[in-house]
Amino acid sequence: MNPEITDMKSTNNELSLHNDQKDKTLNRIFEVDDLNVYYDDFRAIRDITINVFANEITAFIGPSGCGKTTMLRSFNRMNDLIPSAKITGNLSYRGANLYDKKVDPVEVRRRIGMVFQKPNPFPKSIYDNVAYGPKIAGNVKKGKEMDNLVETSLKKAALWDEVKDRLKSSALGMSGGQQQRLCIARAIATNPDVVLMDEPCSALDPIATGKIEELMTQLKEEYTILIVTHNMQQAARVSDKTAFFSVEVEEESDSRTGILVEIGPTEKIFSNPEDIRTENYITGRFG
Amino acid sequence: MKLTTLNNGAEYARNRTAQDLHGSKFDYSGIIFRISLLIGLGLGILILGAVLWDVIGDGTGYLFNRGWDFITGNASSRASSYGIFEGLRGTFWIGVFVIVFSFPLGIGAAIYLEEYARDTRLTRFIELNIRNLAGVPSVVYGVLGLAIFVRALDGFYPNSIEKHLGSTTAAAGSTLAILVLPIVIITAAEAIRAVPQSLREGGFGVGATKWEVIRHHVLPYAAPGIFTGTLLSLARALGEAAPLILVGGVLGSLGPKSSLFEIEQLGERFTAMPLMITQLAKKPAFIGDWNSATAGAILVLLVVVIFANLVAILLRNHYEKKRS
């Protein structure tokens, strides 16, 4: 347990009370500065600089191989699971360096939850899926307290009404859309600060996608959300800020690197982008 | 198709399409392949059936006549009073050694190789060697057991009746535990490798530690595969005769009868079911009832091995049900 991060978390609670002050520097959840991620010698993303603000949905869009997912997985140190991954530059979470030697990735992931591209519920009951995170964190007692937490998490994920009569049945028996909402419930059950979503709707049909999008706009009241999406309409519909990533091919070595082209308010990115590459991409002339 | 009967182009086109869709080529190679597969399967079943038929035909009558005496009696010079207790006891303790030493060690090694070890040249070299070890003939393991457990650790068990000989039950159990260790590691590692990465990520994503991910998600998911593999390797250990001969198994009676669970016999000389069967089969078939006694002993060993397999299947089903 890192005391610094715990402090940050408590500041967050106070912060939400004074949200109307609109102090932008305090509202910064993530500050990314000149971030590079390498897999062995391959540079996946280069010199990324981004700020992410509290209670906003920030969408990452761009063609395949542009490093969106790599960027997203850097925010909760999921890239640590890949032995060859190496990171340079600075990524701070509420002012604390996430890649400091003293930082425990497990603590990071409790505060920065994640929803994956393919729904990946545990092969356990619906109840146990939601209860798993709080249970291993050890801060929620079994029984009534846990029951309540499971219920509120499932309600926040707009799944409660559909599953309240079969909490003990296997999560694998649910539809894809339900499974993905269960994964969202599982992620928010640990009471995170941020939720990362890696193309959460790419395996879902339009109706399930609509539900998840609606859910995201509700969840941003409480959480900061970062989402990677291939669906530009989705980014336009749900996000407050949009970051457009692209691939840069180096002529001599033919090596491909993900770069950030621009980031800004979603409206501006989609109506009046500053960079011609962004315009080409969103109008469908590229990628 | 008679073109003259067609009255318009549309009907012609339709008929033409229908005709094109009719397969004209007969898939000879496919049929031949299928037949050869069936022949292979049939041969296997036929041989197994013939062996079973022979053994059951020879052995059941004898088993019914002898009843429990055959199971609980000691080896004797007459077929009518022969008992396989000493062999069963040896086989039982070999099984205990395999379960106590090979299973935890092998599964632990597999977890280390799959979850912790970095993919370096050394790791790959070790993995390759484990695979090679699984293919080493069992006699070679017998030589290994003779050198290490019988000679080097001679007198290691203080209760040894014949201290100058290390050919004890413990030496036999250790040898066979080492024999199946590579198989346990390989099958457990395969089962762990088959666990989807997304499941691990789900665990890490909610803040589980590496050990929690392994304990709560990887191992339960891999359990059916691990149990199937390890228990099949147990069945293999129970059926081995060659290494036991080298380690110095007794091909006769051990003398005074001691009970199954007495731990002291780990330091005593041993025999086992496969050794007893070898010995019984060498007796002249035309004197007494040796032929039937051999078949009876084989039937008992088969039941033991089938029981191990049955447990494997039940455990697999249990854990498979749990993960869905």
Provide ipTM, 2 decimals. 0.85
State phi, psi for A176 to the nearest 5 degrees.
-60, -45
What pTM value is reported for the model?
A: 0.81
Q: Tell if the CB–CB gap between B205 and A78 is shorter than 8 Å.
A: yes
Q: Measured between alpha carbons, how far is A3 from B110 in angstroms, rounded to an integer?
A: 36
A81 touches chain B (CB under 8 A): yes
Q: Measured between alpha carbons, how far is B324 from B313 in angstroms, rounded to an integer?
A: 17
Residue in B closest to A126 by C-alpha: B324
pLDDT at residue B260 above 80? no
Q: Measured between alpha carbons, how far is A199 from B286 in angstroms, rounded to an integer?
A: 78
Q: Measured between alpha carbons, how far is A213 from B245 in angstroms, rounded to an integer?
A: 71
Mapped onto helix, strand or coil, the DSSP state of residue A87 is: strand
Q: Whose structure tokens read 């007794």?
A: B250
- A-chain CB neighbours of B203 within 8 Å are 122, 132
The CATH fold assigned to B80-323 is MetI-like fold (1.10.3720)
Q: Measured between alpha carbons, how far is A62 from A75 in angstroms, rounded to an integer?
A: 18
pLDDT at residue A131 above 90? yes
Q: What is the pLDDT of residues B168-226, one digit of tens each?
A: 888 899 999 999 999 999 999 999 999 999 999 999 999 999 999 999 999 999 999 99
- A-chain CB neighbours of B118 within 8 Å are 83
Class of residue A118 by CB neighbours under 10 A (exposed 0-12, middle 13-18, buried 19+) = middle
Q: What is the pLDDT at residue A165?
A: 93
Q: Whose structure tokens read 């542009």?
A: A66
Packing angle, helices B28-66 and B290-322, rounded to 10:
120
Q: What is the pLDDT at residue A286?
A: 62
Q: In sequence order, what DSSP letters do the residues of A149-188 get, joined into one string?
A: HHHHHHHHTT-HHHHTT-TTSBGGGS-HHHHHHHHHHHHH
Q: Measured between alpha carbons, how far is B298 from B51 in angstroms, rounded to an integer?
A: 11
Q: Residue B43, Cβ neighbours under 10 Å: how many?
A: 10
Q: Whose structure tokens read 């731990």?
A: B263
- Best to test chain B binding among A120, A191, A197 (most B CBs inside 10 Å): A120
Largest CA distance in chain A: 63
Q: Tell if the CB–CB gap between A78 and B201 is shorter than 8 Å.
A: yes
Q: Tell if the CB–CB gap between B206 and A109 is shorter than 8 Å.
A: yes
Mapped onto helix, strand or coil, the DSSP state of residue A26 is: coil
Question: Distance from A172 to chain B by nearest Cα, in Å?
Answer: 6
Most confident range, picked from B98-107, B247-256, B300-309: B98-107
Q: Tell if the CB–CB gap between A109 and B200 is shorter than 8 Å.
A: no
Please tell me which of the candidates A106, A114, A172 has its beta carbon nearest to residue B324. A172
- A-chain CB neighbours of B209 within 8 Å are 106, 136
Q: What is the pLDDT at residue B257?
A: 60
Q: How many CB pairs under 8 A join A and B?
A: 69
Model confidence band, residue B6 (pLDDT cutoffs 50, 70, 90):
low
A187 touches chain B (CB under 8 A): yes
Model confidence band, residue B270 (pLDDT cutoffs 50, 70, 90):
confident
Q: Which amino acid is at B45?
A: I
Closest CA to A150 of A165, A176, A173, A129: A129
